[in-house]
A and B are shown apart, each in its own frame.
Chain A
């Protein structure tokens, strides 16, 4: 019984990385278009620079700066806590790839 229970659990454990790889928005107060655009940008950046978080974050920050105005901040990582001040309606906090967490906010 426990073995049988153990088996599917293991499979689940391996599967989840695959299952959970879609981008999931944890918290956002952006308006609809900005949110989708930012989300797609983050996904592109993370896929492009899968190994290097810094460059991924740089790409995100620079693109956001160009599109939506100055002073965006981006953090890409797998384990961090944060406390930030952001301009209202300019925050996106999402997960991607089952492991990565990306937070993007604007504060000049």
Chain B
């Protein structure tokens, strides 16, 4: 009730709230003192408080306040405070089993526990603590409890300065110990600075990666090569050596006049010195043989074909023949250059010379002369690099080491194969009358009256020039000028200017030496004689375009063949102006050649990559064989040559390759032998054969010259 009264007092305004607070205080005090008689105290205190705080105060009484008289209000009650637990029972009786009677417990426990909490601190010196510190690595510290304790206590007690003291003291103290003295001090120090780890859920993990296992490796290099050497050194040896050396020097001095010989001696000296030590040159010859062996093994089947294979199907095909491809000669540096000329060596039957150059007027580069042997198709035996393109070459029939070469820049040269020079042995100079246009063909002639070698050349400037090898030089003589038919123009002052045609091919008659044919770019063929230098013996209007090649028949003295860029091949008799045979081959004909074994067989190559072989004895109108011999399309065939000894032909193309082909039996037919009659071979038979043919073709000559 009094409690309810107080909140009722609070409800009124501020003035009343203070009274309320005051009354609360009063009531609390009253509560602590006595549970009873509160109201009286309240009222009295309230009255006093009210007087202190508020002056304009009217006493307000709660409705259910106890009405007491003043006397009763002033009554004093005495209370005594004791430390007794008010909740504790005042008497506790327990049954005593000893006396078998209920007894009152002497004193009742008055302790009242208001709050209890279990702590987790251990005393430092207790067992558990020691065990933990030992685990943490401070084994030594507690081992000397007396000293350490004191120190630690000192350390604990003091501040940082105290700690500093403890440490040296600790060190000093523990230095007395035998082992681990120094270890413990740092251990103690380390303990001070040890990482504070959470003892309950700290987990330290460590791992070790896999180390690759080791392996030992050793090697031994090869020692440098050694060689034995022995000799004797005494006075006569020395003397002899010096004498020899002096003699050699004197010889070399004598020979200074001849440039070539001096070079040879110096070269000999070099080679002598080199051969002593240089291993490669000593095995040059065996290496060559080995190379040939390897080639033969590699191309064994080709070699077998070359010797033995005959196309059996030829027996069933009367009028057809085939060409079997044999070796293909190429050299890496010649791959961009077209084959401009081919020549078989007259003496060494397996040697062939290939000249490389370029027919392209705009793209003129260097040239190359390669001599291949059939025994080694993979690499040339001789290589000569030239600055300008090689347009033609010819090997001397008597001296097979001399090669006459005509170049694109109009000069001619002679290479000597025995010399190891890269330069031609003889070369004509501009002063020496070289051609002003490319030299299209060169040909060796018989030695002249002075036993000097000479050769002829024909060039695009319209001159046929004869060159003679005199000592170290080439002397030139104009043989004939290819004048065009037009009337000479007036050059002023009465001189006459001639326009010269461009000569592209020539050939000398096999029997009559002075007679030769010249083919021109205008398509005419002139019959000339060495004796007459200003006039032609005869002219044939042969072709519409440039004459690529003109050749006398191998056996028949009157027949020659010509081929041209106008797609035709024509056979002529030099006494008549009309061709005997004309063949259209469908593409520009690069070259034509008579077979050396028959007067009626010839072969032509065209710029569509085909080789056409004709035998007039068998078929007068068509080729016996028309075969594409190149691997890549758009390769033009530029030259063809028959091998004088074997039944094969070589064909050069504008990619720089030379392909050799074997002729099938149908293409090399000899006249049939009659039983009982010896097989007549030789030129007469051939001539007769040809004559028979001609008589069929030719109109009966009406008293032609």
The chain A residues found within 8 Å of chain B, CB to CB, are 16, 19-20, 24, 26-29, 77-89, 91, 93, 95, 98-101, 103, 105, 107
Question: Is B224 close to A, CB under 8 A?
Answer: yes
| B233 adjacent to A77 (CB under 8 Å) | yes
B236 to A, closest residue via Cβ = A79
Name B276's contact: one of A27, A78, A88 (CB within 8 Å).
Answer: A27
- Give Cα A84 to B229, complex, Å: 5
A101 to B, closest residue via Cβ = B233
Which of B83-91, B240-248, B342-350 contacts its partner?
A: B240-248
| A79 adjacent to B245 (CB under 8 Å) | no
Q: Which residues of A contact B232 (CB under 8 A)?
A: 80-82
Q: Which residues of A contact B239 (CB under 8 A)?
A: 16, 20, 98
Question: Is B230 close to A, CB under 8 A?
Answer: yes
Q: Which residues of B contact A82 (CB under 8 A)?
A: 230-233
Name A79's contact: one of B224, B228, B233, B243 (CB within 8 Å).
Answer: B233
| A107 adjacent to B277 (CB under 8 Å) | no
Q: A16-B242, A24-B242 are in contact. Are A86 and B231 (CB under 8 A)?
A: no
The smallest C-beta distance from B662 to any residue of chain A, in angstroms, reads 49
Given contacts A85-B229, A95-B242, 12 further A-B contacts (CB under 8 A): A20-B246, A27-B276, A77-B233, A79-B234, A82-B230, A82-B231, A84-B230, A89-B277, A98-B238, A101-B234, A105-B229, A107-B226
A80 to B, closest residue via Cβ = B233
- Give Cα A26 to B234, complex, Å: 13
Per CB-CB distance, the 6 closest pairs between chain A and chain B, nearest first, are A101-B233, A20-B242, A29-B277, A83-B230, A81-B232, A79-B234
The smallest C-beta distance from A85 to any residue of chain B, in angstroms, reads 5
Q: Which residues of A contact B233 (CB under 8 A)?
A: 77-82, 95, 101, 103
Question: Is B235 close to A, CB under 8 A?
Answer: yes
- Give Cα A49 to B619, complex, Å: 94
A97 to B, closest residue via Cβ = B238
Question: How many residues on the B side are at the interface (Cβ–Cβ under 8 A)?
Answer: 22
23 A-B Cβ contacts within 8 A? Answer: A26-B241, A27-B231, A27-B276, A28-B277, A29-B277, A78-B234, A80-B234, A83-B229, A84-B230, A85-B226, A85-B229, A86-B227, A87-B224, A91-B229, A93-B229, A95-B233, A95-B242, A98-B239, A98-B242, A99-B235, A101-B234, A103-B233, A105-B229
Q: Which residues of B contact A81 (CB under 8 A)?
A: 230-234
Q: Which residues of B contact A80 (CB under 8 A)?
A: 232-234
The smallest C-beta distance from B18 to any residue of chain A, in angstroms, reads 118
Q: A84-B228, A107-B226 are in contact. Are A24 and B241 (CB under 8 A)?
A: yes
Contact with A along B114-142 (1 / 0, CB 8 A): 00000000000000000000000000000
Q: Which residues of B contact A88 (CB under 8 A)?
A: 224-227
A89 to B, closest residue via Cβ = B277
- Give Cα A80 to B231, complex, Å: 9
Q: A78-B234, A80-B234 are in contact. Are A86 and B224 (CB under 8 A)?
A: no
Name B241's contact: one of A85, A86, A95, A107 (CB within 8 Å).
Answer: A95
A87 to B, closest residue via Cβ = B224
| B238 adjacent to A85 (CB under 8 Å) | no
- Give Cα A98 to B235, complex, Å: 8
Q: Which residues of A contact B238 (CB under 8 A)?
A: 20, 95, 98-101
The smallest C-beta distance from B234 to any residue of chain A, in angstroms, reads 4
- Give Cα A94 to B242, complex, Å: 11
B residues 248-306 in Cβ contact with A at 8 Å? 276-277
Contact with A along B132-170 (1 / 0, CB 8 A): 000000000000000000000000000000000000000
Q: Which residues of A contact B224 (CB under 8 A)?
A: 87-88
Q: Which residues of B contact A99 (CB under 8 A)?
A: 235, 238
- Give Cα A77 to B232, complex, Å: 11
Q: Which residues of B contact A84 (CB under 8 A)?
A: 228-230
B245 to A, closest residue via Cβ = A24
B238 to A, closest residue via Cβ = A95
- Give Cα A79 to B239, complex, Å: 12
Q: A29-B276, A107-B226 are in contact. Are A93 and B231 (CB under 8 A)?
A: yes
- Give Cα A16 to B245, complex, Å: 12
- Give Cα A93 to B237, complex, Å: 13
| B242 adjacent to A19 (CB under 8 Å) | yes
Q: Which residues of A contact B276 (CB under 8 A)?
A: 27-29
- Give Cα A105 to B232, complex, Å: 15
The smallest C-beta distance from B510 to any residue of chain A, in angstroms, reads 56
- Give Cα A103 to B243, complex, Å: 20
- Give Cα A88 to B223, complex, Å: 11
The smallest C-beta distance from B266 to any residue of chain A, in angstroms, reads 15
Q: Which residues of A contact B242 (CB under 8 A)?
A: 16, 19-20, 24, 95, 98
Q: Which residues of A contact B237 (CB under 8 A)?
A: 101
| A86 adjacent to B277 (CB under 8 Å) | no
| B226 adjacent to A79 (CB under 8 Å) | no
A27 to B, closest residue via Cβ = B276
Q: Which residues of B contact A20 (CB under 8 A)?
A: 238-239, 242-243, 246
The smallest C-beta distance from A97 to any residue of chain B, in angstroms, reads 9
- Give Cα A77 to B224, complex, Å: 28
Q: A19-B246, A24-B241, A80-B232 are in contact. Are A87 and B226 (CB under 8 A)?
A: yes
Q: Which residues of B contact A87 (CB under 8 A)?
A: 224-227
The smallest C-beta distance from B228 to any residue of chain A, in angstroms, reads 5
B232 to A, closest residue via Cβ = A81
- Give Cα A93 to B233, complex, Å: 10
Q: Which residues of B contact A85 (CB under 8 A)?
A: 226-229
- Give Cα A78 to B276, complex, Å: 24
Q: A20-B242, A29-B276 are in contact. Are A86 and B235 (CB under 8 A)?
A: no
Name B229's contact: one of A16, A27, A89 (CB within 8 Å).
Answer: A27
